[in-house]
Chains A and B, each alone.
Chain A
Amino acid sequence: MIEKKSASFSRALIYFFLAVWALIVLFPFYWMILTSLKSFASYNSEYIPRFIATDPTLENYTSAFQAVPLGRYFLNTLIFTVATTGLMMLVIIPAAFAFARLQFKGRNAVFALFLSLMMIPTELVIITNYVTIVNWNMRNTYLGLILPSVTSVFYIYLLKENFEAIPDELYQAAKVDGTSDLKYLVKVMIPICQPTVVTIIILKVIECWNSYVWPRLITYDANYFLVSNGIQEIRENGFGRENTPAMMAAVVVISIPLIVLFLVFRKKIMAGVSRGGTKG
């Protein structure tokens, strides 16, 4: 009897503890939506902020799109994300295929070299890359934004491991049938490894959507800002002084795409991050 009581007590304690952390995670999201719905006047008149918006208004959302080129930032980020991810897949899939299936001289040596590059942090190479892009006159261009991040040794490695797990007999059979390597790669290997390919795409999309440092170095023309740089620009120069509700409206708009993506592909994204994610 006593034991049962203490068990349900500790259960309640666990739920309480988990609920507190959930609250801490959710509160900033609640606060940004709430603030974005308050009018400028009512926000500034609340010395003690209210927890509900008494007259919710969408005016902040229109001013977020009108006062700053938020739509432009969105378009830039979309172009950047799609182009970077697409190009990266075109670079890493053939490389992974070569390492996994093709026999050639120096394969192990080159692969070892690739792996050793995994240790190199971006912070170390970003200095020269910046100088390179400046010398190529590619500041404020999409190419300048995209080019340095279209390869990832880690993803080549992840994909190669996956390709290798496909039985060799399948490849031999295809060879006998006269299927070309390229056709085999596209028609057989990629479909079989689809979960890994999707994982890589998702991780790259998240990374692109949130990237800040490189775009900040490369762009100073607001026409090429990504959302992260846009939000920083809004914070420092946008909306006049202290228009917090409009700022929060912009933050909500920027946060929505990835959150929707996450809620739709929840299982895939969480499985993908636990297999290949970093950021910790």
Chain B
Amino acid sequence: MKKNNLKAWLYLLPAILFLGVFMVYPLIDVCVYSVEENYNFASQSFTGIGAGNFRYVLSDPYFVQALKNTFIIVAITVPLSTGFALLISLGLSSIKALRNTFQTVYFLPYVTNTLAVGLVFMILFKKTAYTDGMVNLLINKFGGASVDFIEGPYWAKMFVMCFYTVWVVMPFKILILTSALASVNQDYYKAAKVDGATSGRIFRKITLPMISPTVFYLIITGFIGAFKAYSDEVALFGTNLNAAGMNTIVGYVYDMLYGDSGGYPSYAAAAALILFAIVFTITYINLTFSKNKVQYM
């Protein structure tokens, strides 16, 4: 077959150009930024090369807080949303009537603007002078005292945060798990029924192994997504996340770059690389673990 070198490169040119300028170059540049100490954005000068930016970031109380918040969000929302999505998908796959309606409803959060709906969550949970808010009225009904979930104690804010995150990530997980469950060969179930296996046993011995690659895929993407949490936080607590004590690692990166606290691309670069190292390590551990546990067909 005739080679058409020139033509092929022409077809690839736009993609290579854009990827080069906005992906490859920045990737190198971010590493350069991260080691340039005392970088000044205005004069574009720096005093030396070293690990000073990393030391600064790691000892910055705001970063430590952001790190803590991010880990809590990850540790709570990933298992909770995955497990819960599995339960719902199992429920969905065992019914016929209304199934489509439920699926459509469950998918709605995926197509909504997180910033916009976050505002609704804020209204529902916020306690103001005019009203204690919907959620607090519910708590009062059950005999509890009102809590300000948006500007109140840390655990309350974290609760809303995790609740909203789960609400946002559920559609994707339910969708993927429902299609995985639907693709399990029905003959296995028929055979198990003939053998008189209980439904719990069928789930453990057939369903779970068959969908385990999907579950692990969701856990891995869930970890990656949760580590990058940011917009949902802004939606609930506003742009000044440090003041609210609810910042995340990604939020810290942007705060260092932009706004009143911004102008420090070197610190931002160091924090972004730390985040990348964490996500990479966790993904690597997940993959190694799944190799031993997951049954690929």
Contacts and interface: CB of A to CB of B under 8 A. Distances in A.
Q: Does B bind A? A: yes
Contact of A31 (B5, B123, B172): B123
A258 B117 CA distance: 13
A2 interface: no
Interface stretch (B50-58, B204-212, B250-258): B250-258
B288 interface: no
B29 interface: yes
A216 B116 CA distance: 15
A247 B134 CA distance: 17
Contacts of A206: 110-111
Interface in A14-47: 14-15, 17-18, 21-22, 24-29, 31-32, 35, 44, 46-47
Contacts of A11: 94-95
A123 B275 contact: yes
Contacts of B26: 124-129, 132
A258 B114 CA distance: 12
A280 B169 contact: yes
B258 A105 contact: no
A247 B238 CA distance: 14
B115 A228 contact: yes
A131 interface: yes
Contact of A98 (B12, B123, B234): B12
Given A25-B167, A49-B131, A127-B268, A121 B5 contact: no
Contacts of B167: 24-25, 28
Contacts of B123: 31, 35, 244, 247-248
Contacts of A98: 8-9, 11-12
Counting chain B CB atoms within 10 Å of each CB, the highest count among A117, A123, A258, A274 belongs to A123
Nearest to B228: A123
Contacts of B272: 123-124, 126-127
A151 B19 contact: yes
A31 B120 contact: yes
Contact of A18 (B91, B104, B253): B91
Contacts of A114: 15, 19
Interface residues of B, number: 92
Contacts of A181: 4, 7
Interface in B20-73: 21-27, 29-30, 33
Contacts of B189: none
A184 B101 CA distance: 41
B261 interface: no
How many chain A residues sit at the interface, stated as a range, is: 35 or more
Interface stretch (B151-159, B173-181, B190-198): B173-181
Given A47-B131, A212-B234, A217-B258, A21 B106 contact: yes
B15 A151 contact: yes
B21 A231 contact: no
A117 B15 CA distance: 12
A142 interface: no
A279 B225 contact: yes
A270 interface: yes
Interface string B234-266: 100011000000000010011001100000010
24 contacts: A31-B134, A90-B14, A103-B1, A103-B3, A104-B8, A114-B19, A117-B24, A124-B272, A124-B276, A127-B30, A128-B30, A128-B265, A130-B258, A217-B254, A231-B113, A251-B119, A255-B117, A259-B108, A259-B111, A259-B112, A261-B111, A266-B104, A279-B172, A280-B222
Given A232-B115, A280-B173, 14 more contacts: A27-B124, A49-B131, A95-B11, A102-B11, A123-B272, A123-B276, A127-B268, A128-B25, A130-B265, A132-B21, A132-B22, A227-B113, A231-B115, A258-B111
